[in-house]
Chains A and B, each alone.
Chain A
């Protein structure tokens, strides 16, 4: 008798847990879901794409199918929460194929929305991204930190938080070839300096020299790991009286330099530090033999802010002698295009140059018209990434180590709070529709009052060195770097 009762009890529980598809009228409309994961391309190692149906309904069911596998989900807490293990298994089995997602909604009677697909790419993504979380504000700050997120399970952990360093500012984290053990970032204000981490070694660097207009600013590692290209900038901020581009950040002067991490010397050349130009956003080619950068004619600021347009140029670089070539190539001409480029980044396989284009200026995160563009470095073909772009800001971006994914900052959700999106690049350079970094709770982004800033792919987890970094920040005087030009 006891056994029967237990069996009946278990059956009832199972019945409660099981989901069955309802009898539904077919609709030719797609469901409106958040995040918008319709017709995106994802890697097989991404965390579950939990989503919610935004149209009015009293109940909802989702079916995710591929091949013979099926996951049925009942809406709970206003969203569809996909079990991680089932999701991971389905993705592993579906590489190179498409998942079919059908959403059923009850509003009186049941309807089945038009199914959409999610393609599972052959290529995985680097398992982590690093980013800074900041208030999308003006001058002041409170809590700032650099964080990393495991894209396979959306667990976030801190790399460094300013509560440990007297609430100073920290920014410009950068990794050498997506290596979590070789990185740098800046602290500004109290305990200011550039912190270079190489395995167990942490160096605090005082990077303002008598030959440079500022401490080192925007970084980009040489693939060999010895050099880092930086810009030096005299940056100012202003804001608009009544413009959808709320804030304006511009350089009053800027140059490009290359820092030698072994000799603690900084090199430059007139070709990347002209007095009649603003050079910024340097980045090396994957073979380390070319330096790309943005350049614009110098003009008085802030008066000329709306006329300032940056081209993308490149010059050769010899890492053995740390010298620059004397011929500058222009890959994107601001005067010809009538627009301005920022953040050039070459794919690790050397095939593509990804960058941001806006109507003017270089601090494109505040420009609603900013979009992502690509140049095929072999053919020279320039094209916008239409599928990945939106009618709002697309700005900073970073390549995955296999050159088939990139992560970028976008403000498409509400126009102010930057969120990380991913897009796939196939072998022909076609870029897919972008998808938002998934979260367990689909309302997470609604309540998050911070912006994701400078998202960077990394191949593994950055070790917890917060305490050591804080100690060094507060106690170490720092190494003074010198200019060698």
Chain B
């Protein structure tokens, strides 16, 4: 088994990488925005001044590369594999002839379960690795006296470098000495006493929050949330394998045949464990959203649209779809070709969470509501689970440039210039600083600036629609505001409001030509006034099609619900279908 050490771990690494890349690629892109690692002395010094700061620094350093395709899976697989390698070293110290690969895969397997959760702080794995390394180092010290001296130094050092995981180290060290049971082995209790004193001092002085965050795995989870129980799993796994190794220590090397049987059994158990644990802990519900979010960040609107065919399962996904359609200029013309479920699918109500702030900032930016986009970007920035958010710092650069707040924009540019993934972009924005002409000439910033409402009012005092309608009248060449208003009325089935809008704007610069869904709504809402259809902008094609639809509905009035599927095939892409059946 020793001879297959390297190939074994190579296989583990490749399998981990493949699994993570296939199932979690978008998860890594998503969590990349929860860090703001900066190549700056003051930033590094600030982190190193905290207990656990080295772990945080390393975690942030690694996560910054997750903007690169494959990097998240490559790095995470490497960390998990390394955890297993170190666990093997620990196991071998206790049971040198052990070939129980299942045991040393337990810690990385437990860690893997944590990595599915966006609220798990990445540096938790880094901290765990540091603790494992310290333990391995400790276990390689032959002299008890040297070990006692070492543990006195290692406990505070580990706490300084990695934080709460020092509790795991201390527990493992006590366990190890209990196993060895040398004379005066109880002296090892100095380690937990030392840690307890450290934690006590930190809590009393306010440097640590509570015992929970000072010495428990909760330190590596979003502090405002209740940490899940399986956060303990990697720590318990390490202690468990030490215990098992201790009981296996006298086991002699087995025959080749026995080895094959043992390995097969372990493999089966491993597969069963994966089969049970992965579906239990993998956050499949959010995978779709993470993918949509990635495509939004990278402006891949067609991909979002192609993902949105068929039944939609949640409002957030519908929001992403409608935002993609809006970016492509197809909102009002195409939205009812997809599964719409009401106005919450157009603009989800803000619930003060990061996920929704993230989405709304993108949506408001799309429709040119820059003040709202800025607000949501700021809210997303301050509510991120980690230590900063470069994505929304970028957005804040843009909104401040649009508003001409150049000094603030420069502040954010300076910070982004110190990052790995955003420095080039940040540098490219410098040309806009204190340069109204450059901003005005820019395709994106200039357009958004020109469409700012003037004079300014307080935002959304009487709701979204009045603000959008004001902008639409000031800038009729911009179609999105009126499409947003109109489609919101359609989704709400607010006939009165839609009619008022159409009566006012149809045939004007605001709505010279009605988009498809508006035309469909006209013929539906003015069903009893067909002489007004063309006057209000409905085309012959829509009128003729409505005629067919109406005949189908009237002929099958008694069994409409059962014919919904059939009717959908012919008219599922129309507003009429939405109005009748949703």
Q: CB within 8 Å of B: which residues of A? A: 135, 137-142, 158, 161, 163-164, 166-167, 238-244, 246, 248, 302-303, 305, 413-417, 441, 443-444, 446-447, 449, 464, 466-467, 470
Contacts and interface: CB of A to CB of B under 8 A. Distances in A.
Nearest to A165: B209
A352 B504 CA distance: 59
Nearest to B46: A447
Interface stretch (B117-125, B295-303, B408-416, B532-540): B408-416
Given A239-B459, A302-B458, A415-B405, A139 B453 contact: no
B531 interface: no
Contacts of A161: 206
A442 to B, nearest CB: 11
A305 B224 CA distance: 36
Contact of A137 (B370, B378, B458): B378
B352 interface: yes
B379 A242 contact: no
Contact of B204 (A158, A241, A242, A467): A467
Nearest first, the 8 A-B pairs at minimum CB distance are: A466-B206, A414-B407, A242-B456, A242-B452, A243-B456, A238-B458, A137-B378, A241-B456
Given A135-B381, A242-B370, A466-B205, 11 more contacts: A137-B379, A140-B357, A161-B206, A167-B223, A240-B459, A242-B403, A242-B453, A444-B42, A447-B42, A449-B388, A449-B415
A417 B411 contact: yes
7 contacts: A138-B378, A241-B452, A241-B457, A242-B370, A246-B374, A446-B414, A447-B415
B43 interface: yes
Nearest to A143: B382
Interface in B350-379: 352, 357, 369-371, 374-375, 378-379
A250 to B, nearest CB: 10
A449 B36 CA distance: 12
B414 A415 contact: no
Contacts of A137: 378-379, 381-382
B32 interface: no
B209 A140 contact: no
A414 B411 contact: yes
Contacts of A303: 461
B40 interface: yes
A161 B210 CA distance: 13
Interface string B283-323: 00000000000000000000000000000000000000000
B203 interface: yes
B467 interface: yes
A158 B208 CA distance: 13
B461 A238 contact: yes
A329 B43 CA distance: 53
Interface string B188-212: 0000000000000001111001100
Given A138-B375, A140-B382, A141-B382, A240 B42 contact: no
A444 B224 CA distance: 29
Given A142-B383, A466-B206, A240 B411 contact: no
Contact of A135 (B371, B374, B382): B382
Contact of A241 (B43, B410, B467): B467
Interface string B438-479: 000000000000001110111111000001000000000000
Contact of A447 (B40, B375, B381): B40
Given A135-B382, A239-B375, A241-B453, A467 B458 contact: no
A142 B458 contact: no
Contact of B42 (A135, A141, A443): A443
Contacts of B411: 414, 417, 446
Nearest to B411: A414
A45 B398 CA distance: 42
A140 B376 CA distance: 10
B319 to A, nearest CB: 20
Interface centre among B382, B405, B415, B452 (most CB of A within 10 A): B382
Interface in B158-207: 203-206
Given A239-B459, A305-B458, A416 B209 contact: no
A464 B202 CA distance: 12
A238 B459 contact: yes
B492 to A, nearest CB: 24
A239 B458 contact: yes
A142 B382 contact: yes
Contact of A415 (B203, B375, B407): B407
A138 B380 CA distance: 11
A242 to B, nearest CB: 4
Contacts of B223: 163, 167
Nearest to A161: B206
Contacts of B357: 140
A158 B40 contact: no
A137 B379 CA distance: 7
A443 B43 CA distance: 12
Nearest to B36: A449
A472 to B, nearest CB: 13
Given A415-B405, A416-B408, A447 B414 contact: yes
B365 to A, nearest CB: 14
Contact of B379 (A138, A240, A244): A138
B456 A240 contact: yes
B369 to A, nearest CB: 8
Nearest to B452: A242
B573 to A, nearest CB: 35
Contacts of A305: 458
B445 to A, nearest CB: 14
A135 B388 CA distance: 12
A350 B458 CA distance: 40
Given A447-B43, A464-B206, A467-B204, A414 B408 contact: yes
Contacts of B379: 137-140
Contacts of A139: 352, 379
Contacts of A467: 203-206
Contacts of B42: 441, 443-444, 447
Nearest to B376: A138
B371 A240 contact: yes
Contacts of B383: 140, 142
Contacts of B370: 242
Contacts of B369: 241
Contacts of B205: 464, 466-467
A244 B455 CA distance: 12
Contacts of B204: 467
Contacts of B206: 158, 161, 164, 464, 466-467, 470
Contacts of A163: 209, 223
A450 B369 CA distance: 25
A303 B457 CA distance: 10
A248 B352 contact: no
B379 to A, nearest CB: 5
Interface centre among A140, A302, A415 (most CB of B within 10 A): A140
Contacts of A416: 405, 407-408
Nearest to A466: B206
Interface string B555-573: 0000000000000000000
Interface in B25-70: 40, 42-43
A299 B579 CA distance: 43
Contacts of A242: 370-371, 403, 452-454, 456
Contacts of A140: 352, 357, 379, 382-383
Contacts of A441: 42
A444 B379 CA distance: 24
B397 to A, nearest CB: 13
A415 B40 contact: no
Nearest to B353: A140
Nearest to B409: A414
Contacts of B408: 414-417
A167 B379 CA distance: 15
A263 to B, nearest CB: 32
A441 B40 CA distance: 13
Contacts of A238: 458-461
